[in-house]
């Protein structure tokens, strides 16, 4: 059976429905939980998050992939209760947003140690939650070049992905050559990797999405909604139409529609920072899908982007 790991157990890939493939229940920098300025009670977090997930479900959302990872506020027992309460499948990830958010215990670890950690979280479970990770997160540290630690994490992720069959998602797709080389070197087919954030306002110009797709990688347009039109846009915002044009141009290329995934990278309840006002996962339904329809994208293509491609990608290939 084609199955996908969710926090409440494996489910058939055909039951995922519309997938938001790169989102966050709550993301914060390591240590932010120690800053009393930002403390939130469990009730507050719940109150901020449940309505967004309920709305997601009402609008037709089936599956929410949490891209938070180790050290950035991942809380799997909490995700289990959110999933049970709202009926939304939640997929948790193992791995790290980037080497620069891995705390020293992990930053000093060998490839073998990191791979074992990822494999354990995928096959046995995360902590004592029993929830198995469904995807591995890796990323490029600040500075725009892969660091030695980033590379160590990518290599460990490649080994874990190959052994367990879960896919990999990257934070940033800049400096992609060393990443592609590591995946080749470890014998991981590139269609098991989505290279993310190709569309953000800081990195889009420095990201060779067409080249990555030609190598066989999947492409994540996953910062939809972080637009300069917002009242208080973040530094990675981009004009709405510019991002949409980029996306339409990309999927118009030969063989590229099947390689694309789209998401909003929103936070239901940010940890240690105020978050971006006016942006939620539901941008996908309230703005993005209507924009695509207005641009002439047909329903079959929308289904390919939000249902078929993520189901195919998230399915365990072991």
Q: Which residues contact 220 (CB under 8 A, 6 or more apart)?
A: 21, 22, 169, 170, 173, 194, 195, 196, 197, 198, 260, 261, 262, 263
Binders of Zn ion in range 271-290 (CB under 5 A): none
Whose Cβ is closer to Zn ion: residue 186's or residue 200's? 200
Q: At residue 195, what are phi and psi to the nearest 5 degrees? A: -90, 115
Q: How far is the CB of 299 from Zn ion (least distance, A)?
A: 28
Segment interacting with Zn ion (CB under 5 A) among 50-58, 87-95, 162-170, 264-272: 264-272
**Which member of 75, 150, 186, 265 binds Zn ion (CB under 5 A)?**
265
d(CA 82, CA 70): 19
Query: Taking contact as CB under 5 A, which single stretch among the options 70-78, 84-92, 248-256, 265-273 is the one that binds Zn ion?
Result: 265-273
Which lies closer to Zn ion via its Cβ, residue 164 or residue 223? Answer: 223
CB of 24 to Zn ion, least distance (A): 6
Which residue number, 186 or 275, has a Cβ lying nearer to Zn ion? 275
CA-angle at 94, arms to 55 and 282, nearest 5°: 15
Under the criterion CB under 5 A, does residue 262 sit at the interface with Zn ion? no
Q: Distance (Å, rounded) from C-alpha 58 to C-alpha 51?
A: 10
Number of residues that bind Zn ion (CB under 5 A): 2
Indicate left, alpha or beta for 187 from its phi (over 0: left) and psi (-120 to 50: alpha).
left
67 binds Zn ion (CB under 5 A): yes
HSE at residue 126, side-chain half, CA atoms within 13 A, is 26
* Nearest residue (CB) to Zn ion, 150 versus 265: 265
For position 66 contacting Zn ion by CB under 5 A, the verdict is no
Per-residue binder mask for Zn ion (CB under 5 A), 18-57, x = binder = ----------------------------------------
The span from the CA of 56 to the CA of 118, in Å, is: 29
Residues that bind Zn ion (CB under 5 A): 67, 265
């Amino acid at each position: 059976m084609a199955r996908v790991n969710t926090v409440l157990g494996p489910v058939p890939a055909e039951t995922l429905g519309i997938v938001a493939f790169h989102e966050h229940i709550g993301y914060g920098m390591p240590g932010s939980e120690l800053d009393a300025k930002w403390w939130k009670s469990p009730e507050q977090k719940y109150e901020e998050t449940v309505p967004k997930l309920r709305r997601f479900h009402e609008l037709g959302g089936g599956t929410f992939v949490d891209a938070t990872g180790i050290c950035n506020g991942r809380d799997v027992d909490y995700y289990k209760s959110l999933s049970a309460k709202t009926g939304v499948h939640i997929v948790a990830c193992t791995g790290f947003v980037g080497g620069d958010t891995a705390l020293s215990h992990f930053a000093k670890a060998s490839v073998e140690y990191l791979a074992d950690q990822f494999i354990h979280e995928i096959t046995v479970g995360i902590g004592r939650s029993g929830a198995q990770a469904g995807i591995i997160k890796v990323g490029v540290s600040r500075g725009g070049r892969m660091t030695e630690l980033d590379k160590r994490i990518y290599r460990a992720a490649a080994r874990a992905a190959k052994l367990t069959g879960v896919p990999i998602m990257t934070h940033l797709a800049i400096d992609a050559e060393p990443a592609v080389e590591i995946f080749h070197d470890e014998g991981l087919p590139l269609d098991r990797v989505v290279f993310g954030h190709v569309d953000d306002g800081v990195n889009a110009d420095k990201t060779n999405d067409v080249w990555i797709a030609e190598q066989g990688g999947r492409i994540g347009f996953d910062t939809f909604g972080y637009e300069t039109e917002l009242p208080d846009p973040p530094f990675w915002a981009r004009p709405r139409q510019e991002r949409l044009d980029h996306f339409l141009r990309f999927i118009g290329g030969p063989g590229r529609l099947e390689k694309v995934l789209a998401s909003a990278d929103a936070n239901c309840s940010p940890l240690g920072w105020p978050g971006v006002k006016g942006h939620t996962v539901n941008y996908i339904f309230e703005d993005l899908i209507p924009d695509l329809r207005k641009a002439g994208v047909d329903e079959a293509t929308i289904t390919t982007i939000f249902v078929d491609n993520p189901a195919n990608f998230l399915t365990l290939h072991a």
